Amino acid sequence: MANILDAKFIKEYCATAANMYRLGWDERNGGNISYLLTEKEVKEYLDTDKVERIIPLGFDAKELVGKYFLVSGTGKYFKNFVGDPENNIGIIRIAKNGTDAELLWGYKDGGKFTSELPAHLMSHIARLKADPLNRVVMHTHPTNLLAMTYVHELDTVKFTHTLWQMNTECIVVFPDGVEVLPWMLCGTNEIGEATAAKIGACRTVIWSMHGIYCGGHDLDETFGLVETIEKAAQIYMMTAPIGLKNIITDDQLKLLAGRFNLTYRDGIIK
């Protein structure tokens, strides 16, 4: 059986986390990532009959029974993933009862998955119904986007419209726009339920004064989605205090949509 530390999904996961830390999105132990793995991928490296321990989920994930997830650990720093994956991340399988996780590898120091795993699993359920190819849910704290939630109206339509106007590529990268939640207590099932209710139709949910939740097909795509939104927020935060003299108009957004044959979210462009 191959060494799991050589697995492509482990290396990509750790490299993504390192980039997120490098960009200042995930200070200290902020942020978390869950990555849906196939049984075939896992069996190449692990004996799936060997369960290290059982960890209660705090949520009934019956719709995900038997599915495998690579998940960041609670209290773990993204900057440490590359140097010590086995203590900082873990691979779990959702147990048959739907309320427990079977730990197959990782959290070697006795730790467990992020406290926001229930919110991740709720989002995976919602995204898989909308898009069976979804494999990643990423939560992070991009600086400029976080700042934008303090000064911009917390309205889904207005927030999406502003982001689309900040950079020509925005409507191309996220034509489904963004959803915006008011501030809510993190690490609770309530914020997970509110996020899942929105992330089915839209891959991105902004947690006001906190961060962002995104879904995607793979780590690169999901990272790129966050990266694009954060760039747009940065441009907004740099220019709004000065006053905008030029802007991408609604007619120009429509031209972009036509050029790239996009089906964009209704109600944003007039």
Is the model's pLDDT at 224 over the cut of 90? yes
The enclosing domain of 140 has a CATH number of 3.40.225.10
Q: What per-residue confidence (pLDDT) applies to 1?
A: 79
Average pLDDT over the chain reads: 96
User: What number of CA atoms fall less than 13 Å from residue 22's CA on the CB side?
Assistant: 9
Select the more confidently predicted residue: 270 or 16.
16
Q: How far apart are CA 210 and CA 139, in angstroms?
A: 10
Does the annotation count 116 as an active-site position? yes
Is the pTM higher than 0.85?
yes
The partner residues of 113 in beta bridges, in order of sequence, read 73
Residues 153 and 104 grouped into a single domain: no
Q: Which of 148, 176, 157, 151 is nearest to 232 (CA)?
A: 148
Cβ contact 56:99 at 8 Å: yes
Q: How far apart are CA 236 and CA 255, in angstroms?
A: 22
Going by pLDDT thresholds of 50, 70 and 90, the confidence category of residue 30 is: very high
Q: What is the pLDDT of residues 161-216, one digit of tens each?
A: 999 999 999 999 999 999 999 999 988 889 999 999 999 999 999 999 999 999 99
Q: What per-residue confidence (pLDDT) applies to 16?
A: 98
For residues 71-75, average pLDDT: 97
- The residue from 113, 133, 150 where one domain ends is 113
Q: Which domain holds residue 214?
A: 116-270
SS3 label, residue 216: strand
Phi (first) and psi of residue 106, to 5 degrees: 100, -170
Residues 137 and 174 grouped into a single domain: yes
Residues 108 and 28 grouped into a single domain: yes
SS3 label, residue 260: coil
Q: What per-residue confidence (pLDDT) applies to 244?
A: 86
Residues 190 and 127 grouped into a single domain: yes
- The residue from 113, 141, 172 where one domain ends is 113
Cβ contact 74:113 at 8 Å: yes
Q: How far apart are CA 208 and CA 223, in angstroms?
A: 19
What percent of the chain lies above the pLDDT cut of 90? 96
Q: What per-residue confidence (pLDDT) applies to 187?
A: 83
Is the model's pLDDT at 140 over the cut of 90? yes
- The residue from 73, 98, 113 where one domain ends is 113
Cβ contact 126:196 at 8 Å: yes
Per annotation, catalytic residue among 12, 63, 102, 116: 116
What percent of the chain lies above the pLDDT cut of 70? 100
Residues 105 and 123 grouped into a single domain: no
